[in-house]
Amino acid sequence: MDNGFRLFPESASTAAEQIDSIYFYLLSVAGFFTILIFVLIVAFCLYYRRGAHVNRTITPHKGFLLLELTWSLIPLGLTMIMFAWGAQVYYMITHPPDDCVVIDVVAKQWMWKLQHPSGRREINELHVPVNTRVRMRMISEDVIHSFFVPNFRVKQDVLPSRYTSIWFEPTKIGEYHLFCAEYCGTSHAQMRGRVIVESQADYAQWLRGGDGATPEASGAMLFEQFRCNTCHTGTQPRGPLLAGLYGSQVPLQGGGTVVADDNYLRESILEPNAKLVAGYQPLMPTFRGQIGEEDILALIAYIKSLESGDR
């Protein structure tokens, strides 16, 4: 982790290089026209000072089509480059690839709690393998936070009551700062951590050092503990069957459908009557106040793991 002064943080992800390129393009265009306009203003002020070189004869104004096209089309071309390039980079950073390693993040005043697919947990530290695509699935237990790693050029608000995500692919082994970039309370300045990028072998060895259950296994235990199996399994279930549910289109009472994604499953656990599934009665009680965000993530992981043939 470099603690020395740097005008720009070292770029350490695939997205960082693309974001830096468009940023410096914007700076170059803005700088060029700022200097050009400044020089022209000074030149005209000197050249036409006290009325010098002013033609006081009133003559009809004639347009100069070539000049007008030049100062219209050149800025148009430059701004269209900004738009197309920016749209491409924005699409890239907001659409994670399918092969990402998903790490769960629960933010709270004033710490980051993280869990890997193997079940290993961390607080205010994030171990990731180099040259591997990583997606952070994030939610807050209290107020709005913001996950910010300057060296990766990634920043995403972490919201209560709704999952957000961000992804990156680190390209350099090392340690990098992790900040909360949204004022979240009196100890906001202390809500920081570090991202540790390791080789594939070192990361695999680090994972073996944990002894926690996988999110799927924890979710299966919670599924039994909260008696979810009494309504969502069997030949005559009182609630929708969960096998094969994740990612499918769910028909709702009154018409319409909804995709069974992370946010829908979370809402169904905490507010089961918000979107009633067609063909079922509103029998499920709310689990708000009885289950935490980490346990909800475990339940979602378990539901996601169920295949359509499982009951």
pLDDT digits (tens, 9 = 90+) for 101-150: 999 999 999 999 999 999 999 999 999 999 999 999 999 999 999 999 99
Q: Are residues 116 and 185 in the same domain?
A: yes
In a domain, 29, yes or no: yes
Q: Are residues 37 and 161 in the same domain?
A: yes
pLDDT at residue number 53: 60
pLDDT at residue number 311: 42
Q: What's the structural domain count of the chain?
A: 2
In a domain, 100, yes or no: yes
- DSSP for 198-236, please give it: E-HHHHHHHHHT--PPPHHHHHHHHHHHTTTHHHHSSSS
Mean pLDDT score of the chain: 88
pLDDT in tens, 266-289: 999 999 888 889 888 888 888 888
Provide the pLDDT confidence category of residue 157 given band limits of 50, 70 and 90.
very high
Question: What's the rounded Cα separation, in Å, for the pair 295 and 136?
Answer: 17
pLDDT at residue number 106: 96
Q: Are residues 102 and 34 in the same domain?
A: yes
Among residues 144, 179, 211, the one where a domain terminates is: 211
Q: Are residues 146 and 291 in the same domain?
A: no
Which tokens go with 138?
């994030």
In a domain, 150, yes or no: yes
- Average pLDDT (164-190) is 94
Among residues 211, 246, 278, the one where a domain terminates is: 211
Q: Are residues 242 and 283 in the same domain?
A: yes
In a domain, 141, yes or no: yes
Q: Are residues 202 and 90 in the same domain?
A: yes
pLDDT at residue number 244: 87
pLDDT at residue number 171: 95
User: Which structural domain range is residue 238 located in?
Assistant: 215-305
Q: Are residues 181 and 294 in the same domain?
A: no
Q: Are residues 227 and 84 in the same domain?
A: no
CA 120 from chain centre, in angstroms, equals 22
Question: What's the rounded Cα separation, in Å, for the pair 284 and 270?
Answer: 10
pLDDT at residue number 310: 47
Higher pLDDT, 209 or 299: 299
Higher pLDDT, 31 or 3: 31
In a domain, 58, yes or no: no
pLDDT at residue number 309: 46
Q: Are residues 202 and 227 in the same domain?
A: no
In a domain, 1, yes or no: no
Provide the pLDDT confidence category of residue 9 given band limits of 50, 70 and 90.
confident
Q: Are residues 38 and 181 in the same domain?
A: yes
pLDDT at residue number 54: 62
Q: Are residues 38 and 117 in the same domain?
A: yes
In a domain, 311, yes or no: no
pLDDT at residue number 56: 61
CATH at 298: 1.10.760.10
Among residues 211, 232, 248, the one where a domain terminates is: 211
pLDDT at residue number 127: 96
Q: Are residues 174 and 253 in the same domain?
A: no
